[in-house]
Copies of this chain bind each other. A is one copy, B any other.
Amino acid sequence: MKWKNTAITKKLRIDYPIIQAGMAGGPTTPELVAAVSNAGGLGTLGAGYMTSESMRIDIEKIRKLTDRPFAVNLFVPENAEIDADKVSNSNRLLRPIREKLHLGDPPAVQQPTLETFRKQLDVVITTQVPVCSFTFGIPDQSIIDELKDRNIRVIGTATTVHEAVLNERAGMEMVVVQGSEAGGHRGTFAVPFAEGMVGVMALIPQTVDAVHIPVIAAGGIMDGRGVLAARILGAEAVQMGTAFLTCLESGISEWQKKLLLNHAETDTVVTAAFSGKPARGIRNEFVKRFDPFAHLFPVYPIQNQLTQDIRKKAGKEKNPDWLSMWAGQGVGMSKECSAAELMEQIIMEIDRFSL
């Protein structure tokens, strides 16, 4: 079996079917993105939370570091109504933590607008980013067509077979299929969250059997064994987040990398307490205390706004109790190395299987 030459490596013009996930909020520095692309994979800038200005700066930096293809990941905006009762629930419950961290009044929440997303798309188009991937839903048909017309490859995200089919129907050229093992936010958009918690072993072959576009497996894949297993299950590529999180080029703090390196597969949990949307991360004090109340909190991204300065301050104080530490169930296989070394190890491991 030719593990490295797939429909996806051909379409994306990369050497290996390995995509570094577009983890939003800091980890995907231009250095990380470029290192992965330079090593023959596809680096992804996690631009979900970025302004168009900072996107433009980072894309420029990436281009200075590599002439290989890379991707930008965007969040498809959702209709989020501000529920005043839920906002005040959240602020009331979080107050003791705000006091503990010497934070002032909670920030005023802002209704998300489509404008930010449109500006992000404009950057993708004007800077001619080679690949654009989407999470949290499927953008309007006109957007997909617009990108494809400009020769920008489009990748969707699904957590169920049905969601993958919806991506295919909308014209996505390939789809990331996120298993329940995956770290960070769940990409579920067409079914209740719990129904989208399907393990990679079951999810990938059933999806491959149902769609014609190439499938990218995500969730729990950390090394050559995972990449090859995903290929055997029918995926044409893998997307790895947690594995790149502890790499030297990753933008999370050194003390957070050290913590992640010491966590086990049972230490992560899916919670909506941080952002209003279910996401997998380390079961820390924040999760233990607030996960039971997550149903009282506002939806994403409102709750995300309400916890933002708490997470930021905890980060500054190197306090792991009150920040979100996204990680997948493969966290126990995390390594401390450069992205190039990780890529090289994966390739060596697979070659050892002598396929």
Contacts and interface: CB of A to CB of B under 8 A. Distances in A.
Contact of A229 (B201, B203, B222, B329): B201
- As for how many copies of this chain the complex holds, the number is 2
Nearest to A209: B333
B1 A354 contact: yes
Interface in A72-131: none
B225 A198 contact: no
A232 B200 CA distance: 14
Which of A160, A203, A230, A354 is most buried by chain B, counting CB atoms within 10 A of its CB? A203
B160 A266 contact: yes
A265 B161 CA distance: 8
Given A229-B229, A355-B1, A199 B222 contact: no
Given A200-B201, A201-B220, A219-B201, A269 B194 contact: yes
Contact of A225 (B197, B221, B234): B234
A226 B234 CA distance: 10
A47 B200 CA distance: 30
A328 B202 contact: yes
A332 interface: yes
Contacts of A219: 199, 201-202
Contacts of A206: 264-265, 330, 332-333
A179 interface: yes
A223 interface: yes
A353 B199 CA distance: 23
A196 interface: yes
Given A1-B353, A205-B225, A206-B330, A199 B196 contact: no
A149 interface: no
28 contacts: A1-B355, A160-B266, A162-B264, A179-B201, A180-B197, A198-B329, A199-B199, A199-B220, A200-B201, A201-B201, A201-B220, A201-B221, A201-B226, A202-B219, A202-B220, A202-B222, A202-B328, A202-B332, A203-B329, A205-B222, A205-B223, A205-B330, A206-B330, A206-B332, A225-B232, A228-B232, A229-B230, A229-B232
Interface residues of A, number: 46
Contact of A329 (B202, B222, B329): B202
Interface in A262-312: 264-266, 269
A181 interface: yes
A92 B278 CA distance: 34
B202 A232 contact: no
Given A161-B265, A206-B330, A232-B232, A199 B226 contact: no
A180 B179 CA distance: 11
A313 B191 CA distance: 32
B199 A332 contact: no
Which of A203, A205, A333 is most buried by chain B, counting CB atoms within 10 A of its CB? A205
Nearest to A355: B355
